[in-house]
Chain A
Amino acid sequence: LSKELAVETLKTVLDSLAALPGVVFVALLDRDGFLIESAGDLDRGSDVTAAWMACLAESCDRIGRELGEGRLRSMAVEYEIGLVFVQELDAAVMLAVLLRGSAELDQLRTRAHDAAPDLLAAL
């Protein structure tokens, strides 16, 4: 029962993040880039999108380690159209968000930071 509630909690939290202005897609990923839960509407497969975002996080993580700056905590990569935001929740879970426009990034960052304990508790 608790597991089912936890999954519902995950979905609820991610839905709240997906409801933020500009947010297209929110995904919770494991350390291999597999989808744990997601929210939002995408034209393409959510698993593929999540996997690409995990690749991006891995690259950035490696850059940080190569530079001696430690592990990746969070990252925001701005593209021509959208923005990818990734935040490490713990060593095995990360939150990845696809955002249209960068105006709402600060709000998203704050909300993601606030939601992290709830997400981790639900896992």
Chain B
Amino acid sequence: MRSSSGLSITRRASGWLIVAAGLAGYIGLVLAVPGDRMQPASLLPWWIAQAVPPILYGALTLFCGRRLSAMRWLVLSLLLWTVHIALGFVTQLVTDPSRLFPPPPVPAILWVPLLLFPLRDVFCGGSTAPGARARSANLRVTPVASARPGAVTPIKVTATVIGTRETSSPPRETVAAPVQVVEQPKPARPAPSVAPSEALPASRPAPSRSSAAARPPAAPAHAETSGSEASGEMVRVSFSRIAEQLPVTSFKLTSDRIAASLREPGFLLVPQQFVRAQLLEGVVRVRWDVVSEQFPRQLGLTDAEIAGRLSDGQLVLPLDEIFAQLPRDLFVLTNPPLDLTGIENFPAPFQPLSADQPEEGAADHETAPVGATVPVAEAGHRDEVESILSPASLPEQDLEIEAESPAQYELTDLDLDQPIEQPVEQPVEQPLEQPVATIPAAASLAELDSEVEAEFPERYLDLEQPVEPPLEAEAALTASVEPEPSPSPAIELESIALEPDQVVEAESEWSAMPFIASAVAGPTDRPTAAPVEDAAHADGRSRLEIMSLLAAVGLFHLAVDSTDDQSLVLVAAPGLPSPDRLAAAARLMLPFLAHGPAGARPELLTLRGRDVTLVLASLDSGDVLVAAAPPMRSLAMLEILCRRAALGHGGVLGATAEDDDPRDEPDLVELELSTRIHVIAQSLSAVGPVIASTLRDLETEWPVYCFLPPDSDVRATAAYACEVSRAMSAAGDEPGIILHTAVLASGRSRLIIRVSTNPFRGGIFVASGETDRPGLAYRQAASAADTLLVG
């Protein structure tokens, strides 16, 4: 039994080694020292001297093995005493046979305690070892030997009952079963074929899908990861998407033949565990040796040669294909509860659903008649599916006409590397009697969605998980089953709040699925009659790329706001105010991204707030990227990625503004400088030498503290800062968005504008200059601003 305990063999061996060494020393002592010199005249009566050893051994045993039961303590003490007597008897035989009994305590008492080194482990299971506490837990997992590559390591799992049994309680982590011993060979490399439920005790029910759906939002990623690892789920990646990374020209086979010779022709299978582990990086790679076995052997190059020609020996996988195949709950966000205050002032469909009120949209979502059947050849091509599902590819025409015109579906250009083999196979099963102006797009979206769900339940949506369709789709569905031809819901929607290109997907389950959100929340996905534009699809692809880029810092939520000529591509982290609020706040700041204080257009405009940080960058065609994140350490990386996104999509970093700045300069008067201002100016060393000046905004009576390079236009910069301050204040009208600092960046130049948030002591701090150490510049500016604005 002890051999299977958690004791280290090495430790036990060392214990016996100590005993042996002690015994050798003891023998040497007995032989070297005469018996009479070892037995000095005892100061104690003999019976007291004989009582010393058992008392000592009892105390030592108690000290060395505190968790011993009384019985074990007694047995161990008696054992030591017995050994002591036996050893003393033998010693007396050697040294002084005339006094065999009772044997003197010395010298046996010097060696016998050494027996505690090995025996304490035997009796108390090494309770004095640090790891002993772990063994008091419910589960004991005891690897007997270290795992070596390729070695098979026996593993012993022991489950013990702790606490009371609660047979009526739901499944808990505590194992309520009797002791179960599982002894099986454990391969050094994880075996992906073992399902998690197989390793559980029989009394522990396997987690159901419904329980998985009821998990808290933050948990699924981890749970799913372990599950997928165990089940060995694969992600299918089109070979054509990664072929260009391979040295195809050096292969003996052509690219087409290689694709056809793959284990699954045309596709590369990648274990999901590799993919999930890299999702947050924004780039998913897989090593060549992971996928090499799927390729034919007659490529003409060895695996090492192929790996050597790849970047870092890895293949970069296309994110859009990967996202389409991952479980939806992987992207569930941890949004705070919706603030529905005042929503009762709005008519339907903005009323919140109560518990006793069934989700009509959801019910209709499943039972809606199928208007058009769109079989899709490959389950993994959800991007293509969603391109079809997108209302952008279903313009406001009769569905019957659309179904008879498959070419309509080719409008999508998100990714047509893998063409859909059967774009539209069936005509309309239940043709609509009359064309519906704006509803069909959304209605058909839901209907087709249902069909794809039925066809690809695991890859697309978890049917047991409650799903809220977008508000417009829900409203449209309700309208589509409404028998009375009374007022068009679409018109109602328009009259209520839904402007043609307004972001409305907001904080719903749909918003948690970035891929769907990106496909659905495009500028043409509105219930009103927005014209279909091919450019919208190109924009969609571009936006996906931007989202993939910013996913590296945890920004997964993509929305597009096209309420104005300038579209906002909003990429946000979870848990922030809704996209429409963020977009509204960002729109207030757009003029400052178009015009810097000196006329040049800044590369980036970063707005810092208490709970949110916005980074704005200009894209091509007037669009603006708005990255929204909570205050975080990755802000520097977020700015870098936003720069990259702007450069990669026709951004105009640092360009000169083409049109004149339309802003009116506020009235400013110059104030006298105090000594304190001069001292503060000297403290701003990170942005180089600055000249201090103080002005007062006559409109707000706020002082404007300027610390600018010598050749700066102080009045223009101060006026600019005042306008920025007003815009930030106006942005604060959006709930949850309180901004206090704006930073305009162009290359090494920084313009830092900080606004007082003290309602009783207003003021604006402005510092500008060039720096290679923005962190130091921000730190110095924050310190100076606190001194001036807070006091």
Contacts of B172 in A (CB 8 A): none
Q: How far is the CA of A48 from the CA of B638 in the complex (A)?
A: 10
Inter-chain contact count A-B, CB under 8 Å?
81
Interface residues of B in 747-791 (CB under 8 A from A): 772-776, 778-780
Q: A31: which of B633, B637, B773, B774 is its contact (CB, 8 Å)?
A: B633
Q: How far is the CA of A32 from the CA of B613 in the complex (A)?
A: 11
Interface 1/0 per residue, B535-562 and A, CB below 8 Å = 0000000000000000011000000000
Report if A18 contacts B (CB, 8 A).
no
A36 & B218 in contact (Cβ 8 Å cutoff): no
B634 & A35 in contact (Cβ 8 Å cutoff): no
Known A-B contacts A30-B778, A36-B779, A123-B779; A58 and B634 likewise in contact (beta carbons under 8 Å) = yes
Q: How far is the CA of A33 from the CA of B637 in the complex (A)?
A: 7
A34 & B774 in contact (Cβ 8 Å cutoff): yes
Max chain B CB contacts within 10 Å: which of A32, A34, A59? A32
A54 & B779 in contact (Cβ 8 Å cutoff): no
Q: How far is the CA of A30 from the CA of B640 in the complex (A)?
A: 16
Contacts of B685 in A (CB 8 A): 3-4, 7
Output the least CB separation between A61 and chain B (Å): 7
Q: A55: which of B553, B775, B780 is its contact (CB, 8 Å)?
A: B553
A55 & B773 in contact (Cβ 8 Å cutoff): no
Interface 1/0 per residue, B612-635 and A, CB below 8 Å = 000000000000000000011111
Q: How far is the CA of A36 from the CA of B280 in the complex (A)?
A: 26
Q: How far is the CA of A66 from the CA of B222 in the complex (A)?
A: 12
Contacts of A31 in B (CB 8 A): 633
Report if B397 contacts A (CB, 8 A).
no
Report if B682 contacts A (CB, 8 A).
yes
Contacts of B775 in A (CB 8 A): 28-30, 32-36
Contacts of A35 in B (CB 8 A): 636, 772-776
Contacts of B552 in A (CB 8 A): 55
Contacts of B780 in A (CB 8 A): 3
B779 & A55 in contact (Cβ 8 Å cutoff): no
Q: How far is the CA of A45 from the CA of B685 in the complex (A)?
A: 22
Known A-B contacts A54-B633, A54-B634; A34 and B640 likewise in contact (beta carbons under 8 Å) = no
B637 & A61 in contact (Cβ 8 Å cutoff): no
B636 & A34 in contact (Cβ 8 Å cutoff): yes
B776 & A7 in contact (Cβ 8 Å cutoff): yes
Interface 1/0 per residue, A30-71 and B, CB below 8 Å = 111111111000000001101110110111010000100000
- Total interface residues on A, CB under 8 Å, equals 30
Contacts of A33 in B (CB 8 A): 633-637, 775
Output the least CB separation between A13 and chain B (Å): 14
Known A-B contacts A4-B685, A35-B772; A52 and B778 likewise in contact (beta carbons under 8 Å) = no
Output the least CB separation between A38 and chain B (Å): 8
Output the least CB separation between B540 and chain A (Å): 27
Q: A32: which of B635, B686, B773, B776 is its contact (CB, 8 Å)?
A: B635
Known A-B contacts A33-B634, A57-B633; A51 and B779 likewise in contact (beta carbons under 8 Å) = no
Interface residues of B in 261-310 (CB under 8 A from A): 280
Report if B729 contacts A (CB, 8 A).
no
Report if B683 contacts A (CB, 8 A).
yes
Contacts of A37 in B (CB 8 A): 773, 776
Q: Chain A residue with minimal CB distance to B312?
A: A80
A51 & B776 in contact (Cβ 8 Å cutoff): no
Q: How far is the CA of A52 from the CA of B632 in the complex (A)?
A: 13
Contacts of A28 in B (CB 8 A): 775
Contacts of A32 in B (CB 8 A): 631-636, 775, 778
Q: Chain B residue with minimal CB distance to A59?
A: B280
Contacts of A58 in B (CB 8 A): 632-634
Known A-B contacts A35-B772, A66-B218; A51 and B778 likewise in contact (beta carbons under 8 Å) = no
Q: How far is the CA of A48 from the CA of B633 in the complex (A)?
A: 13
A55 & B682 in contact (Cβ 8 Å cutoff): no
Contacts of B631 in A (CB 8 A): 32
Contacts of A48 in B (CB 8 A): 640
Contacts of A55 in B (CB 8 A): 552-553, 633-634, 637
Q: Chain B residue with minimal CB distance to A45?
A: B640
Q: How far is the CA of A1 from the CA of B633 in the complex (A)?
A: 30
B637 & A52 in contact (Cβ 8 Å cutoff): yes
Q: How far is the CA of A7 from the CA of B646 in the complex (A)?
A: 33
Contacts of A3 in B (CB 8 A): 682-683, 685, 780
Output the least CB separation between A75 and chain B (Å): 12
Nearest first, the 9 closest Cβ-Cβ pairs linking A and B are A34-B775, A33-B636, A32-B635, A30-B775, A51-B636, A36-B775, A51-B637, A58-B633, A36-B776
Pairs across A and B, CB under 8 Å, 14 listed: A3-B685, A31-B633, A32-B775, A33-B633, A35-B776, A36-B779, A51-B636, A51-B637, A51-B640, A54-B637, A55-B552, A55-B634, A57-B633, A58-B633
A residues with CB within 8 A of B:
1, 3-4, 7, 28-38, 47-48, 50-52, 54-55, 57-59, 61, 66, 92, 94, 123
Given contacts A28-B775, A32-B631, A33-B636, 5 further A-B contacts (CB under 8 A): A32-B633, A32-B636, A47-B636, A50-B636, A55-B633
